[in-house]
Amino acid sequence: MNTSLAPSESVRVLFVDDSRIQRGLWTRLLSQSAEITVVGAIESAEEILPALASLSPDVIVLDVNLPGLSGVEFLEQSDRKELPPCIILSAFVRGATELRDRALAAGAASIISKPQHGSPSEIKDVFDTVRSAILDLHFGGDRSARSSDDFCVQVPEFGVRPPSVTPGLVHTKASAPLIQRAIVIGSSTGGPAALATILQALSRPHPPVLIAQHISSKFTRSLAKSLGEQTGLHVVEVRTGDAIKASTVYVAPGNRHMRVRLANGIAMLMTVGDLPNMHHCPSIDELMTSAVEVFGSNALGMILTGMGNDGATGLLAMRRAGCRTLAQDEASSTIFGMPRAAIERGGVDQVGPPSMLIDEMRRWMRASNAD
């Protein structure tokens, strides 16, 4: 039988996750352990520092995919001396080597994957791991050796079932992404105006839109905000580990390359710094070629106004994979360099002004039953 501890001896845990269901599930799970007291459950990294002052947690359990700052970005930007030990608990660290390396380098004490399928037995197994990690950090090895088997942990009914999926969005193969289609757009000089025009033609629900715009890192967040205000769509600046979701527009962060990756059936976005032989960052070529690896022929590629030839290789890879590919025409482009290069490379199905690109995009969405 588990020996009861005085409240002063228990570990004070702050749980950080933007999902109300996850906060409720893990608060109820962790609170069943006499050694643990959940002193707070909050939904963003920006709330952590005020919570430290008011709640004095001994350990933080932190998700990666949070609104605003991601969990990893929070660790990278924080003074480790001011933080209690932090455990990363996230669905997006499974198979994401770069993300795990960043989290560890930033000071994460432990990295644990959330339950993948949501069965009660799987949740209990992950709970055992999380509980042991918390006790190990605070009490040391003797207490962490205790298993939750010495008391009867009850898994709450909510949040344990796998999410329902719209028919037609999932292949029968286990390796296929839940999100199967995407619109991929590259732009440079004059791009923000062209992007706003094209995105205004979209309404929810719509396929995810992935954008690589050549722009300084100082302005990508404001670009995402501006596009959201002009279009009424959900537009975000990408954080490493973001799961790609329908009805969302993703803008690559400036001075970071954006890649599409598949991890356990989840299409994700990763960002990396400088890459050899890449003259533009973010690279349109890098985004488009990685999109082909995940979505195959189920993507629409689009090159808009801009200088240089970035995107020509990526759009050609998309066309060869069977994707529909479009380019803005010279008359409507601020600079015709990138569309011209893509056309000359043989990667473009059709060329025209934004109005034509919109028509083709809508036609592709109807034909592919994009969601």
> Position 56: which residue type?
S
Question: Is 188 considered catalytic here?
Answer: yes
Of the candidates 70, 90, 132, 188, the residue annotated as catalytic is 188
Q: What is the C-alpha separation between 50 and 278, in angstroms, rounded?
A: 41
For residue 58, indicate whether it is catalytic.
no
How far is Cα 297 from Cα 319, in angstroms, rounded to an integer?
A: 8
Which residue among 17, 58, 63, 310 is the active-site one?
310
Q: Is 148 a catalytic residue?
A: no
Q: How many CB atoms within 10 Å of residue 156?
A: 16
Give the span between the Cα atoms of 304 and 185, in whole angstroms: 7
The whole-angstrom separation of Cα 230 and Cα 224 is 10
Asked whether the beta carbons of 118 and 161 are under 8 A apart, the reply is: yes
* Cβ-Cβ contacts under 8 Å for 68 (sequence gap 6 or more): 44, 45, 46
Could you tell me if 288 and 301 are in contact, meaning their C-beta atoms sit under 8 angstroms apart? yes
Q: Choose, from 33, 113, 136, 214, the residue flagged as catalytic.
A: 214
Element housing 243 (H / E): strand 242-243
Catalytic sites, residue numbers? 188, 214, 310
